[in-house]
Amino acid sequence: MSVSAKASYRLRYGAPVVGEPPAEWTEVLAQQLAHRSVRRYRADGEVSDETLSALIAAAQSAPTSGNLQLWSVVAVREDARRHRLAALAGEQANPIQSSVAQAPLFLVWLADLARARQVTSKTGSATAEGADFVEAALLSFIDVALAAQNASLAAESLGLGTVFVGAIRNKPLEVAAELGLPPNVFPVFGLTVGHPDRLEETAVKPRLPQEAVLHREQYSLDPAHLETYEDVLNGFYAEAGLPEGWAQRVAHRFGSVAGLKGREHLRAALFDRGFQLR
């Protein structure tokens, strides 16, 4: 077990790990465990078209169910459009405060059933009724998540920073209008990409201990693991000057409809975009 493996595990969990990292340690594993959200970007750090092409190639190399490839992405560089998207996501339009407005590249990842419907209709099935079911929507959401994660890891391997922005689902219909999305295409989340401003100041947030998420043979929910994590993360938040612990943040999100920040209307928005969810 290398020192880098030990350091990577401790950084990711914020505490000694039960179990041993593998003896064969790789740069890919180190990169994955070092992931952190980057919300501040250098003003002089453009992301080239060549880099964007590499990120999309990485995204297209992700697994996709049945090779259906039910996703697309819109690359947004224009300042005015990024500011409008930042406002729709509930972020301040001030570039100092908004990761979306500040980053030179904002990728909006889309669940895309329009292409599959078009292909299906051209082969003789006018209705494409199979695309109306929850299964089709689920496949598209899984596909786009896998693709975007590949792109994020690729960006980080190139020294870039990223952060996922789920808040574009606060007002998905307005986002769809801003991006000119056709029916049967839905904005799932955004991804800011840019050169980090002082990456060393961006901490790696500890995750739940493996015992809380890894179940052997059968599922078992043990509150003790959550209490351990609460203690670890409270220390992290205290250093960052943040008041709430992990349990409070979970309760804030799910304790009331208000915590959904407008996303309680997603079902209606999906219907509006042509996702029938039968």
Q: Walk me through the domains of the chain, giving residue ranges and CATH numbers.
A: 36-201 (3.40.109.10)
Whether residue 224 has pLDDT greater than 90: no
Whether residue 176 contacts residue 266, with contact meaning beta carbons closer than 8 Å, is answered with no
pLDDT range class, residue 219, cuts 50, 70, 90: very high
The closest alpha carbon to 96, from 197, 200, 199, belongs to 197
Q: Which residue has the tokens 């990169």?
A: 31
Give the pLDDT of residue 268: 92
The closest alpha carbon to 194, from 4, 2, 52, belongs to 52
Q: What is the pTM of this model?
A: 0.90
Please name the residues in contact with 178: beta carbons below 8 A apart, sequence gap of 6 or more.
Answer: 81, 84, 85, 88
Mean pLDDT, range 3-30, rounded to an integer: 80
Whether residue 15 contacts residue 206, with contact meaning beta carbons closer than 8 Å, is answered with yes
Give the pLDDT of residue 1: 43
